[in-house]
Amino acid sequence: MSAATACASPAAARPPLHIPLRSPPSAAHLPSASASRRASSAACRCTASASASPSTWDWTRWTRHFADVDQAESYASLLKFQLEEAVDNEDFAEASKLKKAILEATGNDAVAQVMSELKTAIEEQRYQDASRLTKLARTNLVGWWVGYAKDTDDSIGRIVRISPGVGRYVAKSFSPRQLVTASSGTPLFEIFLVRDDGETYTMKINKEVQELLKLTLSKARVKLTENTIFNRIITDSNGSDPFSGLYVGAFSPYGPEVVQLRRKFGHWNSTDEVEFFEYVEAVKLTGDLSVPAGQITFRAKIGKGKRLENRGAYPEEFGVIASYKGQGRIAQPGFKNPRWVDGELLVLNGKSTIPHLGGAELGFLYSVPEQSFLVLFDRLKLPE
């Protein structure tokens, strides 16, 4: 893997991203409050070398930059803590000084600068400028992604969030359980961004994905492979449509899994005489040994006149407010002999008094000949 930098300029096409090695950074030690008051904020800034363009930095210089960014982030975190204390104590003069110190400590944070410029360009409807910034600084990396491993036996799938940090984009993976419990996720990698003169950016990734697997994910349930393909997760922002968005369901004995529901219009077979209809399709973003990630786990017809008359079919305590005929997919381990079985999609009011139902908003009843089973789903809202 080449250790060359990836540079971008307005006249150049999007550059390839090279991934050099970097060992995991050690835990940063915050300076004491008294020491932070004496320290020069200039010594903690995320600064580029004045003597050489970042596009020409060797690995030693990049390593020093990594350390500078870590130090600046730690220093800024301490200043923010002190700022909160000053505000709580109504010491606004001190708060003003600390606010200025924070701006100085992160004054050359290329990621913060470009994200601010992008936001302003969009608000002012300067879409050409927004597009240029996206291409130059890879701001389109920010967001939620789902990855599936190609040409392997991996069936789990992984959800990754890339967010802006101090001088870098930070990538973390999240298991379904981590998403439900609002965990901070598992660190994957960091992409450092340095601004050259004006309109040029240089990027560097802190560690190679292969080494990342060995060092941080060797014992994890979710692993990355060389053939992992990522797609952006796009969901309904307001969550008003029960048939659109992300849900978490417990596919026992595999535990919680994330599915994405989408409305569609079409048909389910390829016969000559086909009926086109509106339906909802649930695709697993994270999977299990039987039905892997990327596969449809259920579908149901939801168009006009498709709602079932189920008065009295389910106990009132279930909170069923609507149901629709559908199909669920089951398979043997390894996704062997997959087949569709009849089922019903249940829309719940989320107010059931039955302990196991809790606040579930959807359920799908798989009518398996041997033994029917119900999978409950809670809506999942990803942090912005």
Q: What is the pLDDT of residues 9-63, one digit of tens each?
A: 223 333 333 333 343 343 333 344 444 444 444 344 444 444 578 888 888 888 8
Mean pLDDT of 313-338: 90
**What pLDDT does residue 246 have?**
96
Which helix (H) or strand (E) segment is 176 a member of? helix 176-180
What is the distance between the alpha carbons of residues 277 and 265, in angstroms, rounded to a whole number? 6
What is the value of pTM for the model shown?
0.76
Q: How many CB atoms lie within 10 A of CB 372?
A: 14
The pLDDT confidence band at residue 212, using thresholds 50, 70 and 90, is very low
**What pLDDT does residue 206 have?**
64
Looking up tokens 């040409």 gives 151
Looking up tokens 């020409």 gives 56
Are 48 and 6 in contact by the 8 Å Cβ rule? The answer is: no
**What pLDDT does residue 79 have?**
92
Are 157 and 294 in contact by the 8 Å Cβ rule? The answer is: yes
Task: State pLDDT tens for residues 90-105.
Answer: 999 999 999 999 888 8
**What pLDDT does residue 219 have?**
43
Two structure tokens written together for 268 = 């389910």
Q: Is the peptide bond before 253 cis (omega within 30 degrees of 0)?
A: yes
DSSP 233: -
Which helix (H) or strand (E) segment is 110 a member of? helix 110-123
Two structure tokens written together for 123 = 């608000």
- The side-by-side arrangement of strands in the sheet containing 168-174 is 6-8, 201-205, 186-195, 168-174, 158-165, 143-149, 228-232
Looking up tokens 């299990």 gives 288
